C-alpha cells in the first residue's frame, strides 16, 4: 500500500511539474526551460545542508 502511495505521489508531482514547465515554456522559450532543468539536480545537492536527526527519533 505504501509503495502505491509513493508511486501515486511521484507520478502526480511529475505531472504537475510537466504542466508547470510547459506553461513556463509557453511564456518564455523551450531553451530557457532546458537551461532551468539543467540546474534542478543542484537543488538535490543542497540536501547536504539539511539538519541531522537525533538518533532517538530514528
Would you list the domain boundaries of the chain?
A: 2-49
Q: The C-alpha cell of 27 is what?
A: 511564456
What pLDDT does 57 receive?
62
pLDDT digits (tens, 9 = 90+) for 12-44: 999 999 999 999 999 999 999 999 999 989 888
User: How many angstroms separate the Cα of 11 from the Cα of each of 2, 6, 26, 48?
Assistant: 14, 9, 22, 25
Q: For residue 34, which of 47, 22, 19 has the smallest C-alpha distance?
A: 22
Q: How far, in Å, CA of 22 to CA of 31, rounded?
A: 12
Per-residue pLDDT at 58 exceeds 70: no
Q: How far, in Å, CA of 1 to CA of 16, rounded?
A: 23
Amino acid at each position: 500500500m505504501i509503495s502505491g502511495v509513493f508511486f501515486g505521489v511521484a507520478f502526480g508531482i511529475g505531472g504537475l511539474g510537466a504542466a508547470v514547465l510547459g506553461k513556463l515554456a509557453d511564456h518564455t522559450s523551450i531553451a530557457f526551460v532546458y537551461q532551468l532543468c539543467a540546474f534542478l539536480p543542484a537543488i538535490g545537492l543542497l540536501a547536504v545542508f539539511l539538519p541531522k536527526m537525533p538518533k532517538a527519533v530514528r
